A and B are shown apart, each in its own frame.
Chain A
Amino acid sequence: MAIKGAIVFDVEHCKGCGVCIPTCPNQVIAFSKNVNNKGYNYAEAVNDNCIGCTSCAMVCPDGVITVYKVKL
């Protein structure tokens, strides 16, 4: 049985602190080259290796990450 996850960022509320990036076990997250309306290079998912572990959401100070998980 495989586990698949997905993360959704509230881009406009992300401050681009990057605390979520090293906490991801599968290197799913990186800074975007784009900026949000506040000028922050927000965090975004760069691959679909997410396993829905919620580690990124745990450490996000602004609670901008929503996490989904399915068992396939």
Chain B
Amino acid sequence: MFNPDIIKPENLVYKRTSVLTDNVMHYCPGCGHGTIHRLIAEVIEEMGIQEKAICVAPVGCSVLAYNYFDVDSQGAAHGRAPAIATAIQRLYPDNHTFTYQGDGDLAAIGTAETIHACNRGENIVMIFVNNGIYGMTGGQMAPTTLIGMKTATSPYGRDVALNGHPLKITELLADLPGTYYVTRQSVQNAASVRKAKKAIRQAFENQKAKKGTSFVEVVSNCNSGWKMTPVAANKWMEENMFPFYPLGDMKVDGQKVSK
């Protein structure tokens, strides 16, 4: 197909980062988790901080994240990653401790740990993957499930009277004095991936400069849980998730971004 003269090391412009292990990720085809993992790993590689990076993995779909990042890692109890990361980073202040959590982990069972780690301004990077559903347990309603969205535990659509409102926890965290950088990104196309990577890089740079908590939400898909093809899920996400969870920076350099 291609001229073999092109496929030479000197012409290489992109290859999988070595900060990811060779383990095949268990995520469903097309799941954003893989892309987000890759971006974090690429940032770690580019910043040369693999020896200082410590991953705190959650409970949920990304429970096995520690098998994919080739960095020292800890698996947290459900929702407790920010508490665990707090201790690691305080005990190793020159390291790069980061949490990786889904919406159920971070915004339901771990809400207290999330808010207090952010409010203390722990010098950690928090990656929050919001796909509006509990993927691992089979597609139940999450704190971030949209109104009207059908899940295994809201089979007729999320009803505010019955289920309450979706939680915009990232907006809430942007209001806390401890957060230095709060942003919402996505990874459904090349442009959004580049932006998301820039945001993750910014978060780790802030940590290096000991600025406090950097929080990166990535609105992502769950094509299995949403019962769509990956491409259709990304389109549905753009049409339905983004209006409720608008993308962009909410807080930069400790200052709220006015919209």
Q: What are 6 pairs between A and B in contact, CB < 8 Å?
A: A40-B29, A54-B190, A59-B35, A59-B189, A63-B38, A66-B16
Contact with B along A34-62 (1 / 0, CB 8 A): 00000010000111101011111111111
* A61 contacts B231, C-beta separation under 8 Å: no
Q: Which of A1-36 contact B (CB under 8 A)?
A: 4-8, 10, 13, 15-19, 21-23
Query: Is the C-beta of B193 less than 8 angstroms from some C-beta in chain A?
Result: yes
- Please name all residues of chain B whose beta carbon is closer than 8 Å to the beta carbon of A66 when the two chains form the complex: 12, 14-16
CB-defined contacts of A54 to chain B, threshold 8 Å = 13-14, 190
Pair B230/A17 contact, Cβ less than 8 Å: yes
* B234 neighbours in A (Cβ, 8 Å): 19
Contacts of A13 in B (CB 8 A): 24
Main secondary structure of the interface of B (DSSP, over half): loop
Cα A71 to Cα B2 in complex, Å, equals: 14
- Which residues from B are CB-within-8-Å of A7? 2
Query: Closest A-chain residue to B31, C-beta based?
Result: A61
Given A18-B230, A18-B231, the answer on whether A6 and B20 have CB atoms closer than 8 Å is: no
Pick the residue among B2, B29, B229, B231 that contacts A6 (CB under 8 A). Answer: B2
Interface bin, chain A: 35 or more
Known contacts A18-B229, A54-B13, A67-B14; decide if A61 and B32 are in contact (CB<8 Å).
Answer: yes
Interface residues on B, range: 35 or more
Q: A6-B11, A23-B190, A57-B14 are in contact. List 9 more A-B contacts (CB 8 A).
A: A6-B3, A15-B29, A18-B230, A18-B231, A19-B30, A55-B190, A59-B187, A60-B34, A63-B38
- Chain A nearest CB: distance from B228 CB in Å? 12
**B259 located at the interface, meaning its Cβ lies under 8 Å from any Cβ of chain A in the complex:** no
- What is the bound-complex CA distance between A63 and B64, given in angstroms? 17
Find out whether the CB atom of A70 lies under 8 angstroms from the CB atom of B16. Answer: no
Task: Contact check, A68 vs B11: say whether CB atoms are below 8 A apart.
Answer: yes
Q: B3 contacts A23, CB within 8 Å? A: no
A2 to chain B, nearest CB (A): 12
**A15 in contact with B16 (CB, 8 Å):** no
Q: Is the pair A17, B29 in contact by a Cβ cutoff of 8 Å?
A: yes
Contact between A58 and B29 (Cβ–Cβ < 8 Å)? no
Q: Select which of A5, A47, A63 is within 8 A of B17 by beta carbon.
A: A63
Known: A63-B17, A70-B11. A6 touches B6 (CB 8 A): yes
Separation in Å of the B173 CB from the closest CB of chain A? 26
Report yes or no: A8 in contact with B7, Cβ–Cβ below 8 A.
yes
Is B80 close to A, CB under 8 A?
Answer: no
